[in-house]
Copies of this chain bind each other. A is one copy, B any other.
C-alpha cells in the first residue's frame, strides 16, 4: 500500500478495536505525539483507509428484535445494480450490504421490529429496488452474534443465550 507505513497500520488496527480511542491514547501506544496521530488519521481518512466510525449497538435496545441476513440471487449483475444497492444502503435499518461471489450475489444484513416488517422488506426488495432482476431471496434470522465488526460481544464463555 503506497504511503502507508507500520505506524499507520497500527493506528488502523487500534481504531478498529476501539473507535473512540483518543489521540493521546493512540500516541502513547504507538509512540507518536497526538498531533502526529491526528495528521495520520486525517491522511488515512482522505486516502479512504478509514471509511467511518460506528458504535456496536445491541439492536434489541432499538426495538429491532429480528436481525436478518437476506441473500439475493440476481438475473444479471451489472452497473445499474450498484445504484440500487446504494439506495438500499441508505435505509436506516440496513446494517450491511455486500456484493459477493456464489449462487447469491448480494448479501444484506438488516434489522426489523418483527417478522411482518421483515416480510415487507423482502417484498420491497423486488417491488421497489431490484425489480425483475431479483430472481429469488434466501432469508436467515440471526440467533446469536459473537463478534461484530471486529468487536467481541461475548465477554465470557459462560453459556448465555441472549445477546
Q: Which residues of A contact B (CB under 8 A)?
A: 1, 4, 8-9, 12-13, 15-20, 44, 47-58, 60-63, 69, 79, 82-83, 85-86, 88-90, 92, 94-102, 107, 138, 140-154, 157, 159
Contact = CB atoms under 8 A, between A and B. Distances in A.
A101 B70 CA distance: 12
A44 B98 CA distance: 29
A136 to B, nearest CB: 14
Most B-side CB within 10 Å, residue of A1, A12, A146:
A146
Given A1-B60, A19-B20, A61-B9, A149 B54 contact: yes
A57 B61 contact: no
A98 B86 CA distance: 25
Q: In the assembly, how many copies of this chain are there?
A: 2
B12 A96 contact: no
B99 A52 contact: no
A44 B61 CA distance: 9
A97 to B, nearest CB: 4
Contacts of A8: 61
A100 B148 contact: no
A97 B149 contact: no
Contact of A62 (B12, B17, B51, B154): B12
Contact of A20 (B20, B102, B143): B20
Q: Enumerate the 10 nearest inter-chain pairs by beta-carbon distance, A residue then B residue, closest first.
A: A15-B55, A19-B53, A52-B151, A97-B146, A89-B147, A99-B144, A49-B61, A102-B140, A51-B56, A20-B53
